[in-house]
Amino acid sequence: MTNLKKIKLLANITTDEHDEFIELYFSLCIDWIQAYCNNSFGEEIPPAVYLFIAKAVRMNMKPVELKARTMGTVSYTYNTEYPESMLSLLTPYRRLKFHVFKWIPT
């Protein structure tokens, strides 16, 4: 089964109208997930990652939610971040990043 078919099945998308968007978003999302998790999945992408991408596709196909609004000099803030419930799907695949700490005595 292709990546496109898996995402459409999980996101419950039945039309071919958004196929180009889904394919492009899949490649962008995989890059973001690998950076977020500090994990290169290679050829075998875990099922939870497909579920995250399907939810992200669904989230990005809806209009963006308004988080805050100010009327004096007009200011709008939109909620564009992934919710914690979605990010928790990636938690098992996150790897620690180790940074070399060089201690210099004074």
pLDDT value of residue 63: 65
**Tens-digit pLDDT profile for the chain (106 aa)?**
788 898 898 888 888 888 898 999 899 999 999 998 988 888 888 889 999 999 988 888 776 665 566 667 767 666 667 778 888 888 888 888 777 777 788 7
From 46, 58, 50, select the one nearest 83 (Cα to Cα): 58
pTM of the model: 0.73
* Contact present, 22 and 62 (Cβ < 8 Å): no
The strand ranges marked E within the chain are 65-70, 75-79
* Average confidence score pLDDT of the chain: 83
d(CA 101, CA 57): 39
